Chain A
Amino acid sequence: MGPPPTLPTSHSFSSPSPKTLQETKTPFEIRFALLSSLSIQNHGMRHLKGEIGVVSKADGSALFEMGNTRVIAAVYGPKEIQNKGQQMNNNEALVRCEYSMANFSTGDRTRRPKGDRRSTEISLVIRQTMEACILTKLMPRSQIDIFVQVLQADGGTRSACINAATLALADAGVPMRDIITSCSAGYLCTTPLLDLNYAEDSAGGPDVTVGILAKMDKVTLLQMDAKLPLDTFENVMQLAIEGCKAVAQYIREILLENTKQLESRRGS
């Protein structure tokens, strides 16, 4: 679920007035107050914004925003393996990933930005997802480092991190099978919702995160917390996949725009 958000919730969802919150005390009642003020036209995907080349020292870098969630990714590599003991397989590149949240990314200033269980788990998830799409066999005995930092957290940080990492890897020129995009979807008040923000995520419904190889239509990441009946799950997963495809379309446009700009600057 994740830490509390910094900013008010997304545009189609009005936060409850202070008077309402004071009257209701128990968690169930607070949740009910939130849900009743939800305007249940599904607002769809939040506003996307991506930028390439934000960290000049890195081989590749990107900034990605999904609504109020802002994430920055930096890729270093391929380079020689630093820690020879970690080198498992001589024929493939080693992919390392580190996920951390800035202290100021959530409402309360967090004490341990990395090293806690959630960060370790998300680092592992991102690493496995990106490893599935990088052509590691082309770069034996090298290492690719992916660093992802959450600047502002408002739900869906996992998905924003994967999208930012894809952009950064493409910027670094690391050969990949396809563009990996990720999006989350949930189910609240019998409605599938796409791209949950923190308030919708903490409302107690399930949260399905999907990562796909966009053009090849293959799923590389599928995670869910809470339980869902199977037919509902299929609807929610399908919605998330459509969201992923929309993100992929946007990411492709950014990459092409960036390449055109670089070419015109280079004068070719």
Chain B
Amino acid sequence: MVGMMIDGAGEEADELVTPGEFLGEATQLVAGKGAYVSGRSILASLTGRRTITPPTPGSSDNRSTIEVVGHKAHGAVPQPGSIVIARVTKVMARNASVDIMCVDSKAVKEKFSGIIRQQDVRATEIDKVDMYQSFRPGDIVRALVLSLGDARAYYLSTAKNELGVVSAQSISGGTMVPISWTEMQCPLTGQIEQRKVAKVD
């Protein structure tokens, strides 16, 4: 009775599953999100709808991936290699502290702490970086997660063209317009301020 066929489209119709239910053999399927491998079988770990995605063409493994799509995805957690949007909270001589707000275009439920070290701000001349001319408190930056970091914060990097300050407010309060890799201009006063600017397409 558990897991009725909803679609009625045939035997492969997606059904609702609950944690612990058997989804398939590990020899025939790959466990995706919401599923895990126990011994030789794949079991569900979330409550939701079971979906099977065919294997990507050209991959060595020709098994389909089975996933369980829950109705409530638990909030995003930064992973090494993901692009995050963060707000700068503190700028110091050798690093800048940020609050991570979005991970890969999904907002987090609660803020995570991140840190951008002096050597990770840009790719060239990393020992001559001036943190105050790269970031200011309140700036919104796009960064890449390098690693889980230490107990206090994730380690982030802006050492790419498309990473850096995306939006910033000038001293006079206007939202600044980027004019080069290192400068942004306030539309109200015409003042130019230094930032590590991201190249937004």
Contacts and interface: CB of A to CB of B under 8 A. Distances in A.
A232 B5 CA distance: 43
B164 to A, nearest CB: 24
Contact of B45 (A84, A87, A90, A176): A176
Contacts of B22: 215
A189 B36 CA distance: 46
Contacts of B152: 84
Contacts of B49: 259, 263
Interface string A246-268: 00010111011011101100100
A230 interface: no
Contact of A260 (B16, B34, B75): B16
Nearest to B34: A175
A78 interface: yes
A230 B18 CA distance: 35
A170 B18 contact: yes
Interface in A64-90: 77-80, 84, 87, 90
B47 interface: yes
Given A79-B75, A135-B36, A177 B110 contact: no
Nearest to B72: A173
A175 B36 contact: yes
Contact of A177 (B1, B2, B43, B77): B43
A259 B148 contact: no
B74 A262 contact: no
Classify the secondary structure of B's interface with A: loop
A215 to B, nearest CB: 4
B90 interface: no
A153 B151 CA distance: 41
A175 B2 contact: no
A259 B71 contact: yes
Given A179-B18, A213-B20, A256-B3, A170 B47 contact: yes
A176 to B, nearest CB: 4
B18 A78 contact: no
Contacts of A260: 6, 16
Q: What 8 A-B pairs come out closest when comparing CB atoms? A: A178-B20, A175-B45, A215-B20, A173-B72, A79-B110, A176-B19, A173-B70, A173-B74
Interface of A: 59-60, 77-80, 84, 87, 90, 135, 139-142, 170-179, 213-216, 249, 251-253, 255-256, 258-260, 262-263, 266
Interface of B: 1-4, 6, 16, 18-22, 34, 36, 38, 43, 45-49, 70-75, 77, 109-113, 148, 151-152
17 contacts: A78-B75, A80-B110, A140-B148, A170-B47, A171-B47, A173-B71, A173-B72, A175-B19, A175-B36, A177-B38, A216-B38, A249-B2, A255-B47, A258-B47, A259-B48, A259-B71, A263-B49
